[in-house]
Amino acid sequence: MTPVPTRLARQSRRLAPPTAVAAIVLAAWYFGSYVLIDADRRFLLPAPHEVVKVGFLDPVNLAELLAGLRLSAEVAVTGLICAAVLGLALAILMSQARWVERSLYPYAVALQTVPILALVPLFGFWFGFGFPSRVLTCVLIALFPIVANSLFGLRSVDPALHDLFTLHRAGRLTRLVKLQLPAALPAILTGLRISAGAAVIGAIVGDFFFQQGEPGLGQLIYVYPRRLQSEMLFAAVFLASAFGVAVFWLFGVLARRATAWHSSQQHRRTDTGGAAH
């Protein structure tokens, strides 16, 4: 009768599958830690509560993890911003002239196919092992999804709307700003969502291989096994995963809202056109 129970039931049904999977994973983790592994080798797979106790409840260890997270987040966000600006600019250029697309897009595809792990050492040799090289790693990993999705969105505008702008003698800049970019917004945000997760991976991978300067999560993940600090290793991996999921979720929310706005605008234009007729 009331909407509250229905909403709660709907949320419960949505949360039940991932909660069940998490419970199964935790049960298997405890089983492996306490049944499959001897007590003297339990450091290979510490129990979940030990990971929480050592990694997150100890103030010193937590401060070290958060410092690594801060650096990795700075690298990932900076790389994502640079990739977004560069990728959108390239997509706009390619959408305005076919010869530009034919000239640049094959190189964007080729860059996507190059193993990034093969380029990371070169970045270190060329630019040093500091912040710029880590950001460059993120940019190269995150660039292609933004270019591909943005170009698709800019090319997928309704031809009838292009004809309408032509009738009004709209210039290329007006057509781009008032038609193509708003219509491509869902595709652009989808590319950003994919690239956001890729930027997090790039920040951690770059930090893992450079091994110099202030340690981020990647460097901590490299160091902890060599110190036999398995609890800290699991905590760092969990924190990196949580950060990646949070970034992916944030851009997912933005993409859904943009898609809802885009759909409402389309319906509004349709209704306006129907009223005009």
Same domain, 181 and 260: yes
Same domain, 24 and 94: no
Q: Do residues 158 and 183 make contact, with C-beta atoms less than 8 angstroms apart?
A: yes
* Residues 6+ away with beta carbon under 8 Å from 152: 184, 187
Q: Considering its fold, how many domains does the chain have in total? A: 2
Same domain, 20 and 130: no
Q: Do residues 78 and 135 make contact, with C-beta atoms less than 8 angstroms apart?
A: yes
36 or 57, greater pLDDT: 57
Same domain, 32 and 60: no
Same domain, 114 and 26: no
Compute the average pLDDT of residues 154-178.
75
Q: Would you state the pLDDT for residue 5? A: 59
Identify how many contiguous H helices and E strands the chain contains and give both numbers: 11, 0
Report the share of the chain in percent with pLDDT over 90: 18
Residue 109 is assigned to a structural domain of this protein = yes
Residue 173, pLDDT above cutoff 50: yes
Residue 79 is assigned to a structural domain of this protein = yes
Same domain, 34 and 151: no
Q: CA angle at residue 96 from 94 to 97, to 5 degrees?
A: 70
Same domain, 38 and 118: no
Same domain, 173 and 106: yes
Same domain, 39 and 163: no
Same domain, 25 and 112: no
The Cα 233–Cα 202 span in angstroms is: 19
pTM of the model: 0.80
Same domain, 26 and 163: no
Residue 190 is assigned to a structural domain of this protein = yes
Same domain, 100 and 197: yes
Q: Considering the chain, what is the average pLDDT of its residues? A: 82
Residue 7 is assigned to a structural domain of this protein = no
Please report which confidence band the pLDDT of residue 232 belongs to, taking 50, 70 and 90 as the band edges.
very high
Residue 251, pLDDT above cutoff 70: yes
166's tokens: 């032509």
Collapsing DSSP to helix, strand or coil, 50 comes out as: helix
Residue 8 is assigned to a structural domain of this protein = no
Domain that holds residue 37: 15-45
